[in-house]
Amino acid sequence: MKDVVTEGLQDFGFTVEDLISQEHDAALGNGGLGRLASCFLDSMATCQLPAWGYGLRYRYGMFKQQIVDGNQIEHPDYWLDFNPWEFPRPDVTVDVQFYGRVRKNREGKSVWQDGEIIEAVAHDVPIPGYDTRNTNSLRLWSSRASSGEFDFQKFDAGDYENAVADQLTAETISAVLYPNDDLDRGRELRLKQQYLWCAASLSDIIRRFKKSDRPWSDFTDYVVIQLNGTHPALAIVELQRILVDLEELNFNEAWQIVSRTFAYTTHTTLPEVREKWPVPMIKKLLPRHMQLIYEINHNWLERVKKEFPGDLGLLNRVSIIEETDPKTVRTLFIGILGSFKVNGVSELHSEQITQTTFKDFVKILGRGRFTNVTNGITPRRWLHQANPKLSALIASKLGSYDFLKDLYLLQRLKLYTNDSEFKKAWADIKLENKARLANYITDTTGVQVNINALFDVQVKWFDEHKRQQLNIFGVIHRYLKIKAMDPSERSGLVPRVSIFGGKAAPGNWIGKKTIHFINKVATTINKDPDVGDLLKVVFIEDYNVSKAELICPASDLSEHISTAGTEASGTSNMKFALNGGLIIATIDGSNIEVIEEIGEDNTFLFGHLAPDVEDVRRAHAENPGRECPSKNLLSVFNAVLDGMFGDPEPLAAVVNRVIDQDHYIISDDFDSYIAAQDMVDETYRDQDKWIEKSILSVAGMGKFSSDRSVWQYSEEIWNIESVAVKDPKRREYKKSS
Ligand code: H2P
């Protein structure tokens, strides 16, 4: 509809961009995990797969980031104040029970009674597919007191505060989205969120199934539920509860259905089981679920005992209940046991987890339970919408926009790497996109950047393993090099703009220190007349999806430099490469597959390999006072600690972290990183070669469409087929003919 809208708006004196700029970014789906889910929703609708997305409608989604004096300040994000894309469904509500107690009735059945009821209310966000009539829904739940309004009796009696208290308590459940690494705060509320989400969604799924009047034995032929991470693992226990307590199936029969309904994706490489719930907390909040967890665990351990007699260690390691004080429930294990397939999100990650976190489960359940589906991104948003000119240029060569539905067609671009007219058009589009970003940078930060400089970007969450520190240390190294040069030699250098963006979870202190560090370094470098246009450092505030759409098309180079073996997949590498940016990367996560598709010659690689990282860490531990192995990095540290970027005290934490621990082996990878960056400069000098590599990057992106990912889920896990929604006009035509 964009053309129609653009034309219509012109009559009113507006551009379509004016209109779009009024729209608030969704405060959901901003980290890698959520954004992947958004891409999958787009792909499932486009591939005409009959699917629903379920989530929570957080009143305040991810916080808004402001940078004040170099520091991240968090503000609430009122994203729902204006959101024309959601349809409240007051008719679709589910009562969700919390607390209370369990008693046995006369027939010996467990009955969960009393406690409190919270009402979940549906809000639907339509997800239209591309070039199809199919539109799926993302159903988001918000919570409210089950009466839905405040207590009028109290209100009449003048007790105004208490009249609304129940309502406020109930609404708190869907109020805020906890950042993913803040595990200790608000734990009970977090558990309540997870349960409300699971219980409401399951009730909705079952209601739909029941409309068909089919027996429960058919359930798994019609329903499959993919758990996106461990957060919804409670759904497994909830379905067991529904089948046993409400539908009166026997325990084993119910478990057969449950464990053929769910499949589970893990998105992390962290070896420790992250989400654990204290048993007393579950007992209090969800007493019946705790009983069921014990029973599921009992049956499981009996099986393990039978198959591996006498192996007490194994029994302890795979038990859902961890014998800590107080005891805890390992949510991850519920996810594994209650699912018929478990997958990681890149080849390396999926392989790695079977050898570490899931090793024991592989031994017991067999390798066949574990599989891989490499992540992807939607080309509709990340190419066509973000970079319409590049999309049009590609369409002009390939003869149509079919590549937006079959991304492998991009391979044909390889034929045009010597077509000088095409290459010129390609380069012009990149320059235009850089100019667009440069204007944005000047408007928002006041920093003027040279659009002919190499735009080097790292935008993603601040997580220590993603190593923004390595990047900024590299920037300082470059700065020192420029300063040490005779001014007459400087003209031979390739000018750079280093662009950073991303948020740190409020509880991630080192992430916040790193943001501060980058901003302080930027301030010094940007005003240094010795450097001028040769180096600029920019921090883009409040990185989100709209900004990513502006940034990705404008990058010459982007950085995917996590310590090998720590990034499960990563998807921004795909977004940049699809927009013709080259990548500098470690041999980690999905980088490996991206490199395979684009070709090593067209990427800049460095760093230790995953199997060596543990050895390096062991060597650190054995030699605590060791010298920093990189002279280059030592000079960087000295410059920081000598006050080159202002008061060293607030900057020292980021440096000391590497000197003291260096868990992410920054010092061991630094020289190889610098060497790769030198290669980047050398390659960039030959613009013709650079553009050729840029075209080849795009040409190699076929595999990374999220359409491929969801097809793989459909065929290898869900066992579902596409169903086209028919065009009513065509139906009429058929009738009359
Ligand atoms: C996580 C992983 C990424 C992965 C993404 C989607 C949790 O994203 O760390 O490696 O690509 O899920 O599978 P993030 O760190 O951005 O929240």
Give residue-wise pLDDT tens across range 96-139.
999 999 999 998 899 999 999 999 999 999 999 999 999 999 99
Lowest mean pLDDT among 106-115, 179-188, 407-416: 179-188
Atom 12 (ligand 1): residue with closest C-alpha? 33
Spatial separation of the C-alpha atoms in residues 597 and 579, rounded to whole Å: 15
pLDDT of 736 > 50? The answer is no
Residue 474 and residue 355 share a domain? no
What is the number of other CB atoms lying within 10 angstroms of the CB of residue 249?
A: 19
Question: Exposed, middle or buried, 33 (CB in 10 Å: 0-12/13-18/19+)?
Answer: buried
30: Cβ below 6 Å to ligand 1? no
Stretch (H or E) spanning 120 = strand 116-128
* Binding site membership of 377 for ligand 1 (Cβ less than 6 Å): no
Q: Does 511 contact ligand 1 (Cβ within 6 A)?
A: no
Boundary-marking domain end, from 335, 356, 372? 372
Same domain, 214 and 355: yes
What's the average model confidence in pLDDT over 658-684? 97
Instruction: Find out whether 370 and 358 touch, Cβ atoms under 8 Å.
Output: yes
Tell me, using a 6 A CB cutoff, whether residue 562 lines ligand 1. no
Q: Is residue 733 part of a domain?
A: no
Higher pLDDT, residue 22 or 453:
453
Q: Which residues contact 246 (CB under 8 A, 6 or more apart)?
A: none
233 and 115, same domain (yes or no):
yes
Query: In CATH, what number is assigned to the domain containing residue 59?
Result: 3.40.50.2000
Q: Give the separation between CA 211 and CA 92, rounded to whole angstroms.
A: 15
* Ligand 1: nearest atom to the Cα of 590: 11
Pocket flag, ligand 1, residue 571 (CB < 6 Å): yes
Atom of ligand 1 nearest to the CA of 32: 16
CA 383 – CA 379 distance, rounded (Å): 5
The bridge status of strand 110-113 relative to strand 101-104 is antiparallel
pTM: 0.95
**Of 354, 372, 390, which one is at a domain's C-terminal end?**
372
DSSP notation for 467-479: -HHHHHHHHHHHH
Same domain for 199 and 112, yes or no, is: yes
Please tell me if the CB atom of residue 502 comes closer than 6 angstroms to any atom of ligand 1.
no
- The Cα–Cα gap between 567 and 33 comes to 12
What's the pLDDT tens digit per position in 462-473? 999 999 999 999
Confidence of residue 153 (pLDDT cuts 50, 70, 90): confident
Of all protein residues, the one whose alpha carbon is nearest to atom 17 of ligand 1 is 32
pLDDT of 733 higher than 60: no
Q: How confident is the model at residue 28 (pLDDT cuts 50, 70, 90)?
A: confident
Ligand 1 centre distance from Cα of residue 468 (Å): 16
Q: Which helix (H) or strand (E) holds 196?
A: helix 187-210
**Are residues 693 and 581 part of one domain?**
yes
Cα 567 to ligand 1 centre (Å) = 7
* 311 and 456 together in one domain: no
Of 473, 684, 456, 459, the residue nearest 554 (C-alpha): 456
Centre a 10 Å sphere on the Cβ of residue 587 and count the other Cβ atoms it contains: 16
34 lines ligand 1 (CB under 6 A): no
Question: Mean pLDDT, to the nearest integer, of 29-38?
Answer: 90
Asked if 43 and 13 touch (Cβ cutoff 8 Å), the reply is: no
The pLDDT-based confidence of 737 (bands split at 50, 70, 90) is: very low
- Does residue 425 sit in helix, strand or coil? helix
pLDDT at 225 over 70: yes
Note whether 135 and 265 are same-domain residues.
Answer: yes
On whether residue 468 sits in a domain, the answer given is yes
- pLDDT value of position 19: 86
- What was the pLDDT predicted at 23? 85
Amino acid 184: pLDDT: 60
Could you tell me which of 460, 676, 431, 417 has the C-alpha nearest to residue 555? Answer: 431
169: helix, coil or strand? helix
The answer, yes or no, to whether residue 167 has pLDDT greater than 90, is: no
Please tell me the distance from the alpha carbon of residue 108 to that of residue 243, in angstroms, as a whole number.
Answer: 16
Query: How many domains does the structure of the chain reveal?
Result: 2
Residue 286 token pair: 């969800």
Residue 110 in contact with residue 291, Cβ under 8 Å?
Answer: yes
Distance 457 CA to ligand 1 centre (A): 18
Checking if the pLDDT of 379 tops 70, the result is yes
Residue 205 has pLDDT above 50, yes or no: yes
User: Does 422 map to a domain?
Assistant: no
Which band of pLDDT confidence, cut at 50, 70 and 90, is reported for residue 273? Answer: low
Average pLDDT (384-406) is 98
Instruction: Mark whether 335 and 221 lie in a shared domain.
Output: yes
Residue 493 lies in a domain: yes
pLDDT in tens, 550-592: 999 999 999 999 999 999 999 999 999 999 999 999 999 999 9
Q: What is the mean pLDDT of the chain?
A: 94
- Rounded-to-integer distance, Cα 586 and Cα 601, Å: 14
Report whether 97 contacts 117 (CB < 8 A): yes
- Measured from the CA of 229, which atom of ligand 1 is nearest? 7
Terminal Cα-to-Cα distance of the chain (whole angstroms):
30
pLDDT band at 151 (very low <50, low <70, confident <90, very high): low
Please work out whether the CB of residue 194 comes within 6 Å of at least one atom of ligand 1.
Answer: no
Q: Is pLDDT at 364 greater than 90 in this prediction?
A: yes
pLDDT range class, residue 150, cuts 50, 70, 90: low
Ligand 1: nearest atom to the Cα of 589 = 10
Q: Which two tokens stand for residue 463?
A: 């997580």
Classify the C-alpha dihedral 648-650-652-658 as positive or negative.
negative
Segment 59-80 shows an average pLDDT of: 93
- State the distance from the centre of ligand 1 to the C-alpha of 660, rounded, in angstroms: 27
In a domain? residue 470: yes
349 or 169, which is more confident: 349
User: Residue 62 pLDDT > 90, yes or no?
Assistant: no
pLDDT in tens, 453-494: 999 999 999 999 999 999 999 999 999 999 999 999 998 999
pLDDT value at 221 more than 90: yes
Residue 126, φ and ψ in degrees, nearest 5: -70, 140
Residue 646 lies in a domain: yes
* Residue 686 C-beta-side C-alpha neighbours within 13 Å: 8
pLDDT of residue 249: 96
Q: Tell which atom from ligand 1 comes closest to the C-alpha of 180.
A: 17
DSSP states of 223-252: --EEEESSTTTHHHHHHHHIIIIIS---HH
Closest C-alpha residue for ligand 1 atom 11: 570
Instruction: State the pLDDT at residue 533.
Output: 95
The residue out of 309, 341, 372 marking a domain boundary is 372
Query: Residue type for 625, please?
Result: G
Nearest to 270 by CA among 362, 179, 357, 182: 357
Could you list the residue range(s) of the whole structural domain that residue 314 is in?
2-372
- Is residue 461 lining ligand 1, measured as CB closer than 6 Å? yes
- What per-residue confidence (pLDDT) applies to 730? 58
Is residue 27 very low, low, confident or very high in pLDDT (cuts 50, 70, 90)?
Answer: confident
The pLDDT score that the predictor gives to residue 185 is 62
User: Do residues 368 and 456 both lie within one domain?
Assistant: no
233 and 106 within one domain: yes
500 and 357 co-located in one domain: no
Q: How many whole angstroms from 268 Cα to the centroid of ligand 1? A: 7
C-alpha–C-alpha distance, residues 146 and 164, integer Å: 13
pLDDT at 599: 97
pLDDT reported for residue 179: 65
Note the Cα 222 to chain centre separation in Å.
28
In the chain, what percentage of residues exceed pLDDT 70?
Answer: 96
Distance 645 CA to ligand 1 centre (A): 32
263 lines ligand 1 (CB under 6 A): no
CA angle at 559 for the pair 556 and 560, rounded to the nearest 5°: 135
Q: Is residue 112 part of a domain?
A: yes
pLDDT over 90 for what percent of the chain? 84
Is 476 part of any domain? yes
Question: Candidates 569, 590, 591, 706: which one to mutate for ligand 1, based on the most atoms within 8 Å of Cβ?
Answer: 569
Is the distance from the beta carbon of residue 267 to the nearest atom of ligand 1 less than 6 Å? yes
